[in-house]
Amino acid sequence: MLFGVPMPFFPSGRRPLSQGSRAGLGAALVLLALVSAVELADGGMVNYVGLVAAAPFLAAAFASWRMVLAVGVLATVVAGAFALTGQVVSLAAVVNVIGIGLATAIAAGVAAIRQRQAEQIAELSKLAAVAQQAVLRPIGPQVGSLAVAGRYISATATADIGGDIYEALDTPYGVRMIIGDVRGKGLDAVRLASIVLGSYRHVAYERSDLRAIVADLDRAVARSVGDEDFVTAALVEERGGTLTIVNCGHPPPLLLRRGEVIPMEPPAPAPPLGFMPVVRPRVERLEPGDRLLLFTDGLGEARRDGEFFPTADRAWRLLGHGTVGDGLASLETALVEWVHGRLDDDIALVLMEYAGPRPVSTTAVPSWELGAADN
């Protein structure tokens, strides 16, 4: 019966070696084996044993300091064995053995520093993920009467957060969405993005007019940035099947309707938030099945060999199928394939679908009141 019980390969509390650690350990052991083979083939003279000093450094590139120390001890033992069994115990052989010991200590120190830095980077990555969830909360799959999905595509593999923002809220004035792009990058962009989203999440429930929301956000941006900083943004409201869009220097959303792609250009241009924009709303009556794509300018700037990604030409084929989440996944796949995995800017995407007017709800009469209702 004992043989039928699966036993762990590693003792309790021990983690299996990572791929990098196995590679470093393997390279170090191969080097030890090669040097040993050359020394044995060379005869009784100790000529090449000093080369094993490179073994702990090979391990230090990937493995932990404990593993490096073990490799260094093994290398020192191998070098000492060749030095003692040689025809003559020369001063050079003794110096080589001592040098291998020193190399082991240095390599272990290097590995310890590298391991500490790797742990710090991993911790920062976790903090960045938490910050992203705090700034860009997941939206959808249903917000009010709309099916909504959001997606953030980072241009930097090591960072999942930047200055692109989006949000969708079910407010007393209908479903309201915002998409925006903060000028600049880094922590300052993230800070301003959090300010804009924090303000929007408050005023979207308080202001009945999108133009009042724009004025509030403009003041919030003006108080928080310098003269050359700004935020482009598009605000969308769906109320009873009526779509209202105000645009502050942002790429116009795309309306997907019956196989056509219609850019929702504003009636008049307006500057970004921070430059006191005066916006004019664009109003559109929605039809069941309409989809609206909101995006930041990273999508419009994505290109390969000087050719921009044909968003408008491919939008319906990529976004008009399945759920809104499926549509954004298809768009991201096609985009990454187009640019060969190299984006110049982060991209925020929001796709919403209007299913039609909400059914009129009726209040059910309790069964014990049916008789009273008939009377």
One domain for residues 34 and 76: yes
Q: Are 163 and 229 in contact (CB under 8 A)?
A: no
Q: What is the mean pLDDT of residues 338-346?
A: 86
One domain for residues 227 and 267: yes
One domain for residues 223 and 345: yes
One domain for residues 170 and 205: yes
Residue 14 maps to a domain: no
Q: How buried is residue 364: exposed, middle or buried, by Cβ count under 10 Å (0-12/13-18/19+)?
A: exposed
Return the amino acid letter for 129. Answer: A
Higher pLDDT: 184 or 148? It is 148
Total structural domains in the chain? 2
Q: Quick check: 368 pLDDT over 70? A: no
Q: What is the mean pLDDT of residues 240-258?
A: 96
Which tens digits make up the pLDDT trace of 208-240? Answer: 999 999 999 999 999 887 667 899 999 999 999
Which tens digits make up the pLDDT trace of 23-78? Answer: 777 878 888 888 788 777 776 566 677 788 888 888 888 888 888 888 888 888 88
Which range of residues forms the domain containing residue 241? 137-354
Torsion, Cα 59 64 70 74, to 10 degrees, reads: 0
One domain for residues 123 and 197: no
Q: Are 114 and 290 in contact (CB under 8 A)?
A: no
Q: pTM of the prediction?
A: 0.68
Find the range with the poorest average confidence among 21-30, 172-181, 264-273.
Answer: 21-30
Q: Are 77 and 85 in contact (CB under 8 A)?
A: no
Residue with tokens 């090449």: 48
Between the alpha carbon of residue 281 and those of residues 29, 98, 212, 270, 306, the distances in Å are 70, 79, 12, 11, 34
CA 281 to chain centre: 33
One domain for residues 52 and 123: yes
Residue with tokens 């925020």: 348
Residue 1 maps to a domain: no
Residue 219 maps to a domain: yes
Dig out the tokens for 361 from the structure: 């709800």
One domain for residues 221 and 159: yes
Dig out the tokens for 78 from the structure: 């191998």
CATH number at 259 reads: 3.60.40.10
Q: What is the DSSP letter of 36?
A: H
- The CA-based diameter of the chain, rounded to the nearest angstrom, is 120
Residues 6+ apart with CB under 8 A from 198: none
One domain for residues 190 and 334: yes
One domain for residues 279 and 158: yes
Q: Are 250 and 181 in contact (CB under 8 A)?
A: yes
Q: Quick check: 105 pLDDT over 60? A: yes
Domain boundary among 98, 128, 158: 128
One domain for residues 205 and 247: yes
Which tens digits make up the pLDDT trace of 83-102? Answer: 777 655 677 777 878 888 88
Dig out the tokens for 166 from the structure: 């989006």
Q: Let me know the angle formed at the C-alpha of 178 by 175 and 179, rounded to the nearest 5 degrees.
A: 145
CA gap 341, 343 in Å, rounded:
6
